[in-house]
């Protein structure tokens, strides 16, 4: 359901973005993640509010950390390979550098657990950093006219968002069950399993846009999602989620930082190609190799 929804979403969003005169950078990095992050939001809220406790907190943390990990190391290289390289606007390096600078904030919640004022201050600073980022995202040419009319675009967009929601609603309990069956922590399983499903909207849409020659729109939609996970979700978590600082989390953040830095270098050259694919896959394999040692 999520995969089919992502394909429908790509066509409807492209048509709406062109009618609104949005640049590829603004449409991809800021507007698109508001819709494609819905599955992750459903998982995060379900885990933290409905499930609760340590298991719920670990699933929430795994979602926040695992999403950028999967996007940087596996999903963006997948899009690059499928499109045989992505030509992008060089200004796309900015959101990647913003992400690299801010993403370690996901480690703040346990460090500030006993400091109420510091938690509020950190949350406000993270939200402010996202507002500044969104206000300055203007890279790339204007999105070209899509295939759908205005009314059809709105209907298809709403249907795709509903598919995102329904397709991800029952994921949390499955992750908790799988962690027990595999003898791993919910954090370890959710870091890999949840993003494998919840990244489908942005990855599916990025694949469609990349094959249509909209490289900047495709890449910016992926990194825009990552910036959301480096700012908005840590801001929510620092206020609400009492998770622990674990070796799993610290290693995942470090590997994600390395992969994202490689993508930033590629964007500075105006192209994401086999060098970024190799770096991302090497980081992903390294995380898998280290995972058993972190149990």
pLDDT tens per residue across span 117-155: 888 888 888 888 888 888 777 665 677 666 777 788 888
Do residues 39 and 235 make contact, with C-beta atoms less than 8 angstroms apart?
Answer: no
First-last CA distance in the chain:
33
Position of tokens 């346990």? Answer: 110
pLDDT tens per residue across span 145-175: 667 777 888 888 888 888 877 776 666 667 6
d(CA 70, CA 82): 16
Q: Is 251 helix (H, G, I), strand (E, B) or coil?
A: helix
- Topology of domain 2-289, per CATH? A middle domain of Talin 1 (1.20.1420)
> CA torsion angle for 37, 276, 253, 47 (degrees, to 10)?
20
With a cut of 80, say whether residue 182 has pLDDT above it.
Answer: no
d(CA 85, CA 74): 15
d(CA 172, CA 194): 8
Q: How do the domains of the chain map onto residue ranges?
A: 2-289
Nearest CA-CA partner of 4 in 190, 126, 123, 163: 163
Percentage of the chain beyond pLDDT 70 is 85
Q: Is 61 helix (H, G, I), strand (E, B) or coil?
A: helix
With a cut of 70, say whether residue 45 has pLDDT above it.
Answer: yes
Look at residue 50 in the predicted model and tell me its pLDDT: 62
246: left (phi over 0), alpha (psi -120 to 50) or beta: beta
pLDDT tens per residue across span 208-234: 888 888 888 888 888 888 898 888 888
pLDDT tens per residue across span 236-254: 777 776 666 678 788 989 9
Helices then strands, each counted (H, E), the chain: 16, 2
């Amino acid at each position: 359901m999520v995969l089919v929804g992502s394909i429908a979403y790509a066509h409807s969003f492209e048509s709406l973005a062109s009618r609104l005169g949005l640049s590829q950078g603004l449409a991809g990095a800021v507007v698109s993640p508001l819709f494609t992050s819905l599955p992750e939001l459903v998982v995060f809220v379900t885990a933290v509010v409905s499930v609760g406790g340590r298991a719920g907190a670990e699933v929430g943390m795994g979602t926040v950390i695992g999403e950028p990990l999967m996007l940087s190391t596996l999903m963006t290289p997948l899009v690059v390979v499928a499109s045989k390289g992505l030509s992008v606007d060089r200004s796309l390096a900015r959101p990647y550098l913003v992400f690299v600078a801010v993403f370690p904030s996901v480690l703040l919640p346990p460090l500030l657990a006993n400091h109420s004022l510091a938690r509020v201050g950190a949350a406000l600073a993270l939200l402010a950093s996202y507002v500044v980022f969104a206000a300055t995202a203007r890279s790339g040419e204007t999105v070209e006219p899509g295939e759908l009319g205005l009314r059809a675009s709105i209907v298809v967009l709403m249907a795709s968002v509903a598919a995102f929601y329904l397709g991800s609603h029952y994921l949390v309990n499955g992750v908790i069950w799988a962690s027990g069956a595999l003898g791993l922590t919910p954090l370890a399983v959710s870091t890999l399993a949840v993003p494998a499903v919840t990244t489908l909207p942005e990855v599916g849409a990025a694949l469609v846009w990349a094959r249509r020659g909209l490289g900047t729109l495709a890449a910016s939609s992926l990194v825009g999602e990552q910036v959301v996970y480096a700012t908005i979700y840590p801001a929510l978590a620092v206020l609400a989620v009492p998770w622990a600082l674990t070796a799993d989390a610290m290693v995942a953040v470090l590997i994600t930082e390395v992969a994202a830095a490689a993508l930033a270098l590629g964007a500075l050259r105006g192209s994401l190609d086999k060098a970024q694919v190799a770096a991302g896959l090497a980081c992903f394999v390294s995380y898998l190799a280290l995972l058993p040692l972190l149990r």
